[in-house]
Structure 1
Amino acid sequence: MLRRPQEGNEVVLIMGLWIDLVIWLPVVGPMFDGILQVALLIVMSKMQLRGASQQTSRSQRCRRLLLLWAVLIAYIIVYALKLSRAMDDLEVPMLIMPFRARTDYEKYSTPEFELASASTELLTMVVAALLLISRPRIIAHLTSISLGRSLLSLAKLVSAISLVFGSMLLVWPKAFEVGDHQVVDPNSFIISLATMVLSLGSLQTPTTENCSLVIGRWIDVTLHMLFLWYLTVGMSMLLDNVWGVQLSLAASIVSVVAVLLIENLQIPAAVLQVMLSSSRIHNLQYDYPQPASNLVPAIEVFYVLAICQGCFYITASILGLFSFFPRRMLVRQSKLRGQRGAKAIDLYYESAYSTCMETGLFAARKTVSLASFAEESLCSSSIETQLAGVLLLGNLLHESWGTDSIEEMRSKIIRSNKTLSTLIAMLGWADERHRDIRLTSARIIANLADNVTVADIPGTLKVVCSLLDDEETSGQTTSGNGGNAAGSQPTDDEELGHAQDSNGGCIWVCQSWQRMKDKWFIVEKLPLADQESLPILGMVILEKLAHDINNCAEIANASYLISKIIGLISYRDDNESSNNEQQCLVICASLNFVSRLASTGENIGVTLRQELCKNFFLLNNLECVLEDSRSSPELMKLMIDILTKLALDEDARKEIGCCKMIVWKLMHVFIGKDGSTNAYNDQSLRMAAGEALANLTTESPANCLVILEVTGCEIIKDLKNMLCEDEYIYVAASLLQNICAHAKDKLRHQDVSNHLSSAFPMVMENIMSAEGKHLEVLIGLVSQICDMIPESFIHDQLQLRTNRSELVQKLVGTLNSNRKPNPEYPRMRRVIVEMVISIVKFCPRYATILREGGMMEALFKVEMTPSKVEKHRVFFGNIGVILESGPSLTALVAKAKGLIHSAAPTIALNQTTMLD
């Protein structure tokens, strides 16, 4: 702040007005005068004054104006008292005369000149206070034009040189003596010049017009420090007659350190400790002229230890000045961004320093790590400390600091309900100033969300949902330093860029400064993957929360959340490529979350899928994205996966079937025809489309008819050809089985018996090598094909088979091994019984082979061991989601046994007749 022309000049001037006022007050003694001056400097430095009234809050402006009015009234009263006394006897009283009039050259100065000197300083202070209060526009305009800036910069340089001259005069007055007499005291005129320059500079507006700004900033910093130095270093002159030259010099050092380390109160205390201890040691021989044998040495040891302690405190604090460089290196290594990252490391340094001072260096080694500081900071009551903690914690969880340490940190945060609540609460900080903190908190929660229980922290879903409301544009930045908002101060990089463009003579200086900034200040940007938007992170958090079945129950109750997510699954009309990319990311994250909800098992999964289907916009949004050319194969696969899971619900199957465009699109993707993109050649995408179609046609005659209406392909022929491809045989057989079961009349009208007849031998061959759910769907397909092709063809095919006994053994063995039905293929025993019925019905000769192969015994076991599992056609996890239609399994077993029993005697009788 002190480097900004407007705010820095005003803050330093306000501090200077109060410090200089102490000099003119009638105090008890000179020592109290100097101590009050330094104390006032330190106290005011902690008041967080702000300049530029138009950029501050109302409370800050009131505080600033209150300070200015108070100091203005005090100066007027002091000047009135001084003027009245001077008029009485034309002599300035020693009681209220400043230290500058109480030197050795007093007898060479006239009362009139001293009154003029004091009047100059006091009136200048009054005028400066009035300028800060009124801020006249005319003067502000004059100081902001090009000529005004140039003249004011020159005045600042002259004022800085005069302050250096005045400081040398105070510290070494003999160097400016002429003969035996000292020249006229210029202190009041030096202070008056500096005060007027600072008051005019406080009216300036920021600019980046010329290269002199970079150098001007350094002049401002120098002027500010010299002004405060000049006001405080005069204490040594006050103490010259009290403590002597050496102690006066020490007091001067105290003043310097107080200015440089303005926020470190240990320095004045330590210096005072050293000075008092040294004074006591020096006076021991006078205090104890005839001491006991060990008294004086013991007291000396005590004071020496006190001196050593004070010296160590001073050394540690001074070395703290040079900690700036390792702290900035730690900022760079930690990849913390901007001023907030630097402030976080500074707070960590202060905490580590205090811990080491309290517990010792070696004892504090385990408690001063970045991880421990970050965890403790989140539980702090200070907002500033919490912000530092969340920045450090987000960095530690992101960077590769060691898998064990990261897991340990994650477990600690998850176990601490207070820490986790604080992080989640930060997600709701809607203030733009806290955007980076909100983003970092979101990244941390996204890292921990898979182990978070929503019920433990009430309001979690609402806070996370607020992340989805954040709207970003391509021009908006979220840099670590907060970016440049309208009306904000320009950054150093921008100013240097303007400097280089406007004046080639300053290029070398600018480049040198930039190189130093790059080394110590500029922090590397985070990888692109970390620059995620709040909506995307919000949906990542929700998607991870949905892995917990208990969290899914909470999400199911939050209908507003599901509606908001579904609303994000749509493209906006925008030609900017950056926005299109951002929209794709948001859509992808939304689809991930919806897919996660649709994939939830148990009864809560059924409820979630019903809630999703109740939303009026879900299918419309999915259809629009599915047809959009900007949709990538990844997006299409997510949408198809959602449709696959939703199709497990009967009402959802009906609604999806009504959107013929979705069904046709899925069919084109599965067949792999008429595709203009690589999506139609993606095997995993085609498999996903086939599974979606298989679910959509399960127990849905209407959807089967919609598929048969698809243009651009021959459905049955294409499905028959896909039976030859191992990777697609399961989904193709499932879809073909459903179509044959529910669209017989339509298929007979289309005369597809030739395609089905050619598929029959292939399916029968594949049955011998198939297992599990593949075997179930192939056996079920055989039964459906037998109802669609001529009986003579089936009879001939069964008769010509050379491995009839092997086929029977396969069926009998599968029946016996599935005594306990598997949820992955719950229809196994049912489809085998249906196939037995079809075989015996179309080729009675198989009855004897079936009886000899043990089929009757296997059917008897099936009849005696019915299962509720077999009442469902499809299971999702351990929950049956689609009921089986048609006759019961017991009725089918009875029919199969009757066919085998009735066909076997006839076959035996025919064989006997032939022998006769």
Structure 2
Amino acid sequence: MVLGQGILYIVAGIFDIFSFILRRLLIRRAGFGGPSGVKYVNLYYAYVFDRCMEGAMLGPKKTNLIIFAMDYLKSNSPKMQLYGLKMLHNFLRKEPLRTMVILELTTYTKTVAFLINMLSWTSEEAKDIRSFAAKITAELAENLRVVPIPGAMQLIASLLDTVQGHNIKNPLLDTGSPETKQDNLIQQVGRNELTSPVLKWLKQMVLYCLIPRDEPTNMDEQNSHILRCWRKIAKHWSVPEEEPSTDQDLSPVQGMLILERLATFDLENCIEISRATGLISKIVEFTSNRTAMKNIGETHETLLKRSSLKLLARLASTKGKFGVTLRQKITEHLFLWSNLAEILDNRGSSQELRELTAELIRNFAMDGNVSNEIGHIPMIISRLMHAFLSQGASSSADSDQLLRMNAGQALALLAMESVNNCLVMLAEPGYVFIKELTIMIHSGRYRYIASSLLQNMCMHAQSELGNSDLKEISYITREVLEGIMDAEGTELEVLVGLSSQICNVVPDDFARELEHGQIKERFIKRLVNALNSNMIPTSHSPGIRRVIVEHVIYMMECNPGNADCFNKYLMMEALLKVERTTSRAENYRFFSGDAGLMEHSIPLSALVARAKELMGRG
């Protein structure tokens, strides 16, 4: 009897050793760390045992760590719920568990709904639960549609409310409270007591007693082969340390991260963001340098600003009619433009923040009304020009090039259909704008941005161009004409548009270049062929036929004799085809999805009629 008990104890001990090894292995593979990791695995073993006991011994219920964590998440115990959240959060940081968790959670809408509902738990006791629920939601947001979850967007938006603002009072609207000052005084006294020299000395004594200095070890012991082996084994089977919290643990940062990823994943998520009451205003407020938040550090403030700019840029790039409505809703915020101007003007703003701001302004500038509104804030145009034209902008670094590209594109859009914006750009001190643009036309990267800007300067600010400006424009005529010979699509549209304006502002120089270069007939033939090959307008270059017809008009207005050459290459027949196939789409400069942007004031049919009239006179 005693012998049997002894054998059982020995067998149990052997199994316990194997169990220890398996548990340590599971801790590492699951990404657990610290004492919590040991606790989770022990709970999992007990959980599996219970599941096995509930079913047949040979046919236990299927289970795994992810199902275990999800079951704990849905339990009635806050402690177990927190365990479940922490385990899921660990899994989401380690492949292939991450993919498996996302698949499991997104499959069960009720579990996701329960998870998002935890974001409304604002009590102090549920602080950790809410924090980990936000982290997990942020990881799922890249694959999540919130439309099936009632009230989900408002719950996510509630994360942005956890940062309390300064109690700023208006002397005309609010009454002061003497108790506040007294409370602040008491708190200050308390802080002084906590930082008193006596308390500091006591802390140092406690640390000295509890954490003694390391004694030097014996060299023979260090070099011992057995000791080295033992250290390797101990390191391999030890429990990893828990990962420390990061700068993104603050609830508003997590909230912005969730919103940003939701907007990137699905258009319907963008619609839900726009519908959530007051959410757009909260997002815009985070772009301000004069934030009213008090319990937040500089790092968190920068993270919030970056996230808000990225989210706004994503929302502003939404295509279609909904995108137009959404951009209008965002730009209705009264402090948006001043916030963006401050980011561009602030030397303390990082390169990334200025890149995002320039991108955001570019997206807004696609709408003509917004473009005019931006023009009334000269600081924005001034800072964009500095980013696009300054010597530092010529850096070869990718980040510098991205800022320069975003700024240039924003300026090009702002210049379209806006006399005021063109005049503001032309009057910007410190730059010879026209010369700068003509230099860029010789380079490949910004050639078409500069061409578009120069076209609009000629169109809307011709009266302000000096003789030196006109000379610079005439110098690039040959290069623009040669570029038209090979360009297609949007590039062809931009270059033909610039060429037509060169013909308009310096007609003699343009005609001389055609004649002396002996390319007049080749150029006219190219225009006719381009017109015939673009009889069906596309969303990528809806204005290509318009700029060609405008060019034909300018060439015949400056020299009626050009009509003979146009007739030689059957331009009239091409114009008749255009007349029969004009489309409403050609009245717009751009398309965002199915929405036309920046409508022209003169329809294409009127331009065709004018061109036919001039050819008839010739």
Residue deviations 1:504-526 (CA, integer Å, cap 9, x gap): 89x99xxx9xx999887763343
**Structure 1 residues 851 and 313: CA distance shift in structure 2, 3 A:** farther
1:222 equivalent in structure 2: none
After the TM superposition, which of the residue ranges 556-565 and 635-644 deviates more from structure 2?
556-565
Give the Cα separation in 1 of the matches to 2:41 and 2:247: 21
CA contact (8 A) 1:379 1:418 kept: no
2:591 equivalent in structure 1: 875
Give the Cα separation in 1 of the matches to 2:594 and 2:243: 44
Identify the match of residue 582 of structure 2 among 866, 870, 874: 866
Q: Is 1:616 the equivalent of 2:334?
A: yes
Unpaired runs of 5+ residues, structure 2, are 165-193, 195-203, 219-226
Deviation at residue 888 of structure 1 after TM alignment: 2.0
Give the Cα separation in 2 of the matches to 1:681 and 1:717: 25
1:893 equivalent in structure 2: 608
What's the TM-score once normalised by structure 1's chain length? 0.56
Task: State how 1:146-295 maps to structure 2 within 5 Å.
Answer: none
1:127 equivalent in structure 2: none
Give the Cα separation in 1 of the matches to 2:124 and 2:349: 32
1:803 equivalent in structure 2: 519
CA contact (8 A) 1:599 1:645 kept: yes
1:397 equivalent in structure 2: 92
Q: Which amino acid aligns with 1:442?
A: A
2:142 equivalent in structure 1: 450
Query: 3-state SS of the aligned residue for 2:278?
Result: helix
Q: Is 1:375 the equivalent of 2:70?
A: yes
**Structure 1 residues 571 and 635: CA distance shift in structure 2, 3 A:** same
2:274 equivalent in structure 1: 556
CA contact (8 A) 2:247 2:299 kept: no
Deviation at residue 874 of structure 1 after TM alignment: 2.2
Identify the match of residue 549 of structure 2 among 824, 833, 844: 833
Task: State how 1:122-137 maps to structure 2 within 5 Å.
Answer: none
Deviation at residue 732 of structure 1 after TM alignment: 0.6
Deviation at residue 676 of structure 1 after TM alignment: 12
Q: Which amino acid aligns with 2:66?
A: A
Deviation at residue 469 of structure 1 after TM alignment: 3.4
**Structure 1 residues 529 and 503: CA distance shift in structure 2, 3 A:** closer
2:495 equivalent in structure 1: 778
Q: Count residues in correspondence.
A: 563
Deviation at residue 392 of structure 1 after TM alignment: 2.2
Residue deviations 1:238-293 (CA, integer Å, cap 9, x gap): xxxxxxxx9xx9xxxxxxxxxxxxxxxxxxxxxxxxxxxxxxxxxxxxxxxxxxxx
Deviation at residue 531 of structure 1 after TM alignment: 5.7
**Structure 1 residues 539 and 350: CA distance shift in structure 2, 3 A:** same
**Structure 1 residues 386 and 467: CA distance shift in structure 2, 3 A:** same
Give the Cα separation in 2 of the matches to 1:828 and 1:471: 51
2:256 equivalent in structure 1: 539
After the TM superposition, which of the residue ranges 755-764 and 522-531 deviates more from structure 2?
522-531
Identify the match of residue 760 of structure 1 among 465, 477, 480: 477
Residue deviations 1:845-891 (CA, integer Å, cap 9, x gap): 43233222222111111000110101112222221121112x32112
Identity of aligned residues (%): 39
Q: Is 1:851 the equivalent of 2:567?
A: yes
Identify the match of residue 703 of structure 1 among 399, 421, 424: 421
Give the Cα separation in 1 of the matches to 2:530 and 2:139: 47
Unpaired runs of 5+ residues, structure 1, are 1-245, 250-306, 473-485, 487-493, 904-916
Q: Is 1:413 the equivalent of 2:129?
A: no
**Structure 1 residues 528 and 683: CA distance shift in structure 2, 3 A:** farther
CA contact (8 A) 1:672 1:680 kept: no
Q: Which amino acid aligns with 2:316?
A: A
Query: 3-state SS of the aligned residue for 1:873?
Result: strand
Residue deviations 1:607-644 (CA, integer Å, cap 9, x gap): 11111111111111112222222222221111001101
Identify the match of residue 430 of structure 1 among 122, 126, 136: 122
Give the Cα separation in 2 of the matches to 1:392 and 1:530: 20
Give the Cα separation in 2 of the matches to 1:762 and 1:549: 43
Deviation at residue 444 of structure 1 after TM alignment: 2.3
Give the Cα separation in 2 of the matches to 1:518 and 1:495: 32
**Structure 1 residues 813 and 470: CA distance shift in structure 2, 3 A:** same
Identify the match of residue 27 of structure 2 among 331, 352, 355: 331
Deviation at residue 695 of structure 1 after TM alignment: 1.1
1:664 equivalent in structure 2: 382
Deviation at residue 818 of structure 1 after TM alignment: 1.8
Give the Cα separation in 2 of the matches to 1:417 and 1:827: 47
Residue deviations 1:285-334 (CA, integer Å, cap 9, x gap): xxxxxxxxxxxxxxxxxxxxxx99xx999987996799567545533443
Deviation at residue 808 of structure 1 after TM alignment: 2.6
Query: 3-state SS of the aligned residue for 1:875?
Result: strand
Identify the match of residue 824 of structure 1 among 527, 540, 545: 540
What's the TM-score once normalised by structure 2's chain length? 0.81
2:153 equivalent in structure 1: 461
**Structure 1 residues 319 and 408: CA distance shift in structure 2, 3 A:** closer
Query: 3-state SS of the aligned residue for 1:427?
Result: helix
Q: Is 1:735 the equivalent of 2:453?
A: yes
Structure number with greater Rg is 1
Identify the match of residue 486 of structure 2 among 753, 756, 769: 769
Give the Cα separation in 1 of the matches to 2:395 and 2:523: 44
CA contact (8 A) 1:701 1:742 kept: yes
CA contact (8 A) 1:730 1:777 kept: yes
Query: 3-state SS of the aligned residue for 1:837?
Result: helix
CA contact (8 A) 1:450 1:545 kept: yes
Residue deviations 1:625-674 (CA, integer Å, cap 9, x gap): 22222222221111001101111233322221111111011011111247
Q: Is 1:356 the equivalent of 2:19?
A: no
**Structure 1 residues 495 and 419: CA distance shift in structure 2, 3 A:** farther
**Structure 1 residues 313 and 595: CA distance shift in structure 2, 3 A:** farther
After the TM superposition, which of the residue ranges 532-541 and 814-823 deviates more from structure 2?
532-541
Give the Cα separation in 2 of the matches to 1:564 and 1:681: 28
Query: 3-state SS of the aligned residue for 2:465?
Result: helix
Query: 3-state SS of the aligned residue for 1:880?
Result: strand
Give the Cα separation in 2 of the matches to 1:677 and 1:782: 30
Q: Which amino acid aligns with 1:849?
A: C
Give the Cα separation in 2 of the matches to 1:503 and 1:683: 53
Residue deviations 1:448-503 (CA, integer Å, cap 9, x gap): 2233222211221222122223459xxxxxxxxxxxxx9xxxxxxx9996545469
Task: State how 1:488-503 maps to structure 2 within 5 Å.
Answer: 498-501=208-211
Query: 3-state SS of the aligned residue for 2:161?
Result: coil
**Structure 1 residues 384 and 846: CA distance shift in structure 2, 3 A:** same
Deviation at residue 697 of structure 1 after TM alignment: 1.5
**Structure 1 residues 631 and 429: CA distance shift in structure 2, 3 A:** same
CA contact (8 A) 1:597 1:605 kept: yes
Q: Which amino acid aligns with 1:458?
A: P
Deviation at residue 372 of structure 1 after TM alignment: 2.7
